[in-house]
Copies of this chain bind each other. A is one copy, B any other.
Amino acid sequence: MSQQDSVEQWIHELAQLDDGKMTEKQFKIIEAAVEVFSEKGYAGSSTSEIAQRAGVAEGTIFRHYKTKKDLLLSIVSPMMSKLIAPFVLNNFKEVLESNYPSFEDFLYAIMMNRLNFVRKHHKIIKIMLQEIPFQPHLQAEFKQQIGTQVFQRLSTIVEHFKSKGEIIERPSQELLRFMASSMIGLLATHFILMPDQPWDEEQEIRDTIRLIMNGMSTK
């Protein structure tokens, strides 16, 4: 699936959040906004350029989004939930336990899953990372979603494996940070630092997970 296609898909998903009421124009606006924001940053972008690239009159943007910030949030905010969606499945723990024979298999599965997600939405994720420090609204959302929802669920998992003696006895926060850092580092390297350099995804992911597992394993 091409990048263009993936952005389109994302926009369609957004549209459904708005009860599926999204005009052709509105679609073009979001598409253009993602483009421009990710190229120049939120503050460095002008609504007039977005309008131009969207092939839409300047005023049209403000018919759909009260302000420029509104436009930003309407793009970035829903992305946050999508990003962590797999971790907050209702039956997350069950899925995990019933589907994956080992923790390592679980890590691999979730990594491949998020890798594909990031690949599809890297522009919006770039915008999100850039703007979290400056948008209190995004900060709050981030803290609540990651800090509370995801962290707590993952903690439970880690505790579980610690109690089974498979993982060393260190604070869950540290262990989770270690895992997250390694995996995010992998994604960052290939999507941000060296986006043009080809890589053997499967191999590198397996290696990374191996390093993580070795690091935390009690054996």
Contacts and interface: CB of A to CB of B under 8 A. Distances in A.
Interface in A107-154: 126, 130, 133-134
Given A181-B186, A185-B178, A40 B134 contact: yes
Interface residues of A, number: 34
A180 interface: yes
**Main SS of chain A's interface residues?**
helix
Contacts of A44: 43, 134
A180 B185 contact: yes
B208 A174 contact: yes
Contact of A215 (B42, B43, B212): B212
A186 B204 CA distance: 22
Interface of A: 40-44, 126, 130, 133-134, 170, 174-175, 177-178, 180-182, 184-186, 188-189, 192, 204, 207-208, 210-217
A-B pairs, top 6 by smallest CB distance, nearest first, are A181-B185, A215-B215, A43-B43, A211-B215, A43-B44, A214-B215
